[in-house]
């Protein structure tokens, strides 16, 4: 009788109490996705330490360590700048800063793209061993690329300092100082060069959604990294990195060529990402349209990344 009474009371208590929802039932929600991002940023010591350790591990037992990044970028920029300026008859004082800055910005963009796809795959051990937000691994990748960019930007500072006199005046990549025959005249260095700071912030923010989105997709479909890596080199030559868009303008056949090639170049989103950061650093004019394109891609990209994080965040640990 006493046992029956106890069972009845427990049954009544279970009926009166709210129904417990399993934790997995609420895992696919935007609230959980935003919570993952918030928790990831709050664990700054973890992802910043991991990102710095990646750099130190790569140059372990090296005498000058990560500054090999700076030296390698400086040698490549110097060699390509002198080679292409000689082949195309361009002024080295303006073209060398152009190609060096563009190459370093592209290294950051392509590095975030290539390593972002492998983010969760390369962190398989940590994902299975510790319970941490997926955002931590995204921030680790972006922070690592940011540290590499910080080393590379030293090359830009040195080159701009050497050719400051040429870059500080109104100049043209093809003809040096602007003259009557000038098609595009760049204004030179000024206070607006500080816009490179928000430009890099935008690039880093885009690297975040790119890493999350492609990282999740690539973890599920392992052919995606091989596919994208195979076309990164093609994208490099399609983007004005080692060739200036100024060369497309001119008279006669060049004017006809520019009429249909320039619109294609402006359809390339990588051109706008590179241009908003490269142009202020070397005194070039930045089109307002480039800012609009980058901001638009940022909004759309993060919307897609949030959807992917909402739907597949809990499955990544099973896919790796």
pLDDT digits (tens, 9 = 90+) for 195-247: 999 999 999 999 999 999 999 999 998 888 888 888 888 888 889 888 888 77
Alpha-carbon distance of 115 to 103, in angstroms, equals: 17
Query: What was the pLDDT predicted at 26?
Result: 56
Please report, for residues 38, 177, 232, the alpha-carbon distance to residue 43 in angstroms, rounded to integers and kept in the order given.
9, 50, 32
Q: For residue 8, is pLDDT > 50?
A: no
Alpha-carbon distance of 138 to 208, in angstroms, equals: 6
pTM across the whole model: 0.83
Query: What was the pLDDT predicted at 86?
Result: 86
Q: Which residues contact 248 (CB under 8 A, 6 or more apart)?
A: 254, 257, 258, 261, 262, 265
Query: Residues 96, 97, 100, 102: what is their CA dihedral angle, to the nearest 10 degrees?
Result: -120
Query: What was the pLDDT predicted at 20?
Result: 39
Query: What was the pLDDT predicted at 251?
Result: 53
Query: What was the pLDDT predicted at 297?
Result: 96
């Amino acid at each position: 009788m006493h046992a029956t009474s106890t069972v009845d009371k427990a049954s009544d208590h279970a009926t009166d109490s709210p129904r417990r929802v399993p934790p997995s039932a609420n895992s696919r929600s935007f609230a959980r996705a935003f919570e993952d991002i918030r928790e990831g940023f709050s664990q700054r010591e973890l992802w910043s330490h991991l990102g710095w350790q990646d750099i130190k591990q790569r140059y372990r037992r090296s005498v000058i360590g990560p500054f090999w990044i700076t030296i390698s970028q400086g040698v490549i920029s110097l060699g390509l700048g002198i080679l292409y300026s000689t082949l195309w008859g361009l002024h080295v004082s303006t073209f060398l800063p152009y190609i060096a800055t563009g190459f370093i910005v592209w290294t950051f963009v392509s590095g975030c793209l290539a390593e972002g796809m492998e983010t969760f795959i390369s962190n398989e051990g940590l994902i299975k061993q510790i319970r941490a937000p997926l955002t931590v691994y995204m921030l680790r990748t972006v922070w690592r690329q940011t540290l590499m960019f910080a080393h590379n930007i030293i090359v830009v500072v040195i080159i701009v300092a050497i050719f400051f006199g040429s870059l500080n005046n109104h100049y043209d990549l093809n003809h040096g100082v602007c003259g009557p025959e000038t098609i595009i005249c760049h204004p030179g260095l000024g206070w607006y060069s500080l816009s490179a700071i928000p430009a890099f912030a935008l690039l880093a923010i885009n690297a975040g959604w790119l890493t999350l989105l492609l990282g999740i997709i690539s973890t599920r479909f392992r052919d995606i990294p091989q596919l994208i890596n195979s076309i990164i080199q093609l994208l490099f030559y399609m983007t004005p990195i080692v060739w200036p868009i100024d060369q497309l303008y001119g008279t006669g056949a060049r004017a006809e060529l520019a009429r249909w090639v320039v619109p294609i170049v402006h359809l390339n989103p990588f051109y706008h990402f590179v241009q908003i950061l490269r142009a202020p650093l070397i005194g070039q004019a930045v089109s307002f349209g480039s800012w609009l394109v980058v901001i638009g891609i940022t909004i759309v990209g993060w919307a897609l990344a949030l959807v992917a994080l909402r739907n597949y965040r809990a499955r990544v640990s099973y896919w790796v």
